[in-house]
Amino acid sequence: MKKLLPGKVLLPRAAIARRVAGLGQQIADAYAGHELVIVPLLTGGLIFAADLIRRLPIKMRLDVAAVSSYPGRAIRSRGVTIVLPPQLNIRRRHVLIVDDILDSGRTLTAMQNILRRRQAASVKTCVLLRKEQARRAGLWADFVGFDIPDVFVVGYGMDFNHLYRNLPDVVQLRTAR
């Protein structure tokens, strides 16, 4: 089996930091005068959400939820399992789901359905990255950091086989030679 390793830097840390600050302002404007519950999706959305909420000058509560869609070494989605449902009571509250990547859309849809069933006042979505296939399929999130090509990426919270989440840049995975 060919080894897969971090390769080309797709989004350097400085560009990510600038965009995250911009997203924070955009979200703060959209929710002006409202309280918000932020629900980052573990584990990929963790680093992004940690940076984003510190750029969010509004009254907010933090929850977490976990969804599994890429078990182990798989690099294609195999359906979604809710591993950890959100914990806070979000009835009549405005909720923003925060995740790393929008690809097939299954992850966000599954989580949106749960939160709507629990009668959130509103459910919006924020992703750092949107893949080309999602863009072509007309999938969208309310707040999108970057549109990227259909390549597998790691770093800034995103993993391959649980590795590379600690890389500060978003990096493309490459085959070792």
Of 89 and 109, the one with the shorter C-beta distance to ligand 5GP is 109
User: How many other CB atoms sit within 10 Å of the CB of residue 6?
Assistant: 17
For ligand 5GP, the binding residues in 15-44 under the rule CB under 6 A are 44
Could you say whether residue 125 binds ligand 5GP (CB under 6 A)? Answer: no
Of residues 37, 65, 90, 101, which one binds ligand 5GP by CB under 6 A?
A: 101
For ligand 5GP, the binding residues in 45-74 under the rule CB under 6 A are 69-70
Of 103 and 169, the one with the shorter C-beta distance to ligand 5GP is 103
Closest CA to 42 of 97, 112, 5, 90: 97
Contacts of 95 (CB under 8 A, 6+ apart): 36, 37, 38, 39, 115, 120, 121, 122, 123, 124
103 catalytically annotated: yes
Q: Which of the ranges 32-40, 58-66, 94-102, 115-123 carries the binding residues for ligand 5GP, by CB under 6 A?
A: 94-102
Are 141 and 130 in contact by the 8 Å Cβ rule? The answer is yes
Contacts of 109 (CB under 8 A, 6+ apart): none
Are 12 and 54 in contact by the 8 Å Cβ rule? The answer is no
In the 8-state DSSP scheme, what is residue 163? B
Catalytic residue among 51, 99, 100, 103: 103
Of 25 and 109, the one with the shorter C-beta distance to ligand 5GP is 109
Binding-site ranges for ligand 5GP (CB under 6 A): 44, 69-70, 77, 99-107, 152-154, 158-160
